[in-house]
Amino acid sequence: MNDTDTTITLLRESGAMLEGHFLLSSGRHSNRYFQCARLLQYPDRAAAALAPVAARIKADIAAGKLAVDAVVGPAMGGIIVAYELGRQLGLPAFFTERDDTGAMTLRRGFEVEKGQRILIAEDVVTTGKSSRESAAALEAQGAVICAIACVADRRAPGVFGSSDSAIPWPFYAAATLEAANWKAEDCELCKRGLPFVKPGSRKI
């Protein structure tokens, strides 16, 4: 199995990839919904899902293509991913989080040094918004973002617009996931009369 197949198996086994008819927080509809936390609740599966990512990063470090000093994940989704990648890469790992105004920032005494090379870690990258906000907060402190890593890349080219979904750093994903992403009025599943669920509001 390739990395994507392995990761999809882990997501399915963990109940982290649901198939059906979903209303997303964006208001769009999809045939799949990812709740990566359900995979990450199992430390052995988190380690297995991220091992290929860590291996590719280590290979690029060894080849002189990449240099990393620390791993930083945007809360909540990035915290466990950053921790696990930090563990596998032998690097410190910490996180950014939103302050009272909603701005992504470093709290709890976490600091970056000027020129420190940061790997951003995420669970699922859909638009890359929280990663870019986290990166901006770190760059404002003088850090340099060297790459981004995630469990699942589910960016939908053409749906969010190229400028919004562009990731300006080397990108390491355990899996690239495909999911439909319809405007509500264009939803193929609505056209078939199938009821949708809003993840988070019920059992998921």
Q: Is 204 in the site for Zn ion (CB under 5 A)?
A: no
**Residue 30 binds Zn ion (CB under 5 A):** no
Of 28-36, 52-60, 110-118, 173-181, the segment contacting Zn ion by CB under 5 A is 28-36
Which region among 3-11, 132-140, 159-167, 181-189 touches Zn ion (by CB under 5 A)? 181-189
Out of 7, 18, 22, 29, name the contact with Zn ion by CB under 5 A. Answer: 29
* Residue 197 touches Zn ion, criterion: CB under 5 A: no
Amino acid residing at 15: G
Closest CA relative to residue 35, chosen from 165, 151, 173 = 151
Is the C-alpha dihedral spanning 113, 119, 121, 126 positive or negative?
positive
Which range in 74-82, 118-126, 129-137, 191-199 contacts Zn ion by CB under 5 A? Answer: 191-199
Residue among 171 and 196 whose Cβ is closer to Zn ion: 196
Tokens of 85: 């990648």
| 187 contacts Zn ion (rule: CB under 5 A) | yes
User: Nearer Cβ to Zn ion, position 46 or 187?
Assistant: 187
Q: Which residues pair with 119 in a beta bridge?
A: 71, 147
Interface stretch with Zn ion, choices 61-69, 141-149, 172-180, 183-191 (CB under 5 A): 183-191
DSSP calls for 77-89: HHHHHHHHHHHHH
CB-nearer residue toward Zn ion: 24 or 190: 190
Minimum CB distance to Zn ion, residue 183 (Å) = 9
Q: Of 34 and 94, which has the nearer Cβ to Zn ion? A: 34
> What DSSP assignment string belongs to 167-192?
--S-EEEEEE-----B-GGG-HHHHT
Query: What letter represents residue 93's amino acid?
Result: A
Residue 123 neighbours by CB distance under 10 Å: 25
- Burial (CB < 10 A; 0-12, 13-18, 19+), residue 182, is middle
Should residue 154 be labelled a site residue for Zn ion when binding is judged by CB under 5 A? no
State yes or no: residue 189 binds Zn ion (CB under 5 A): yes
Using CB under 5 A, list all residues that contact Zn ion. 29, 187, 189-190, 196
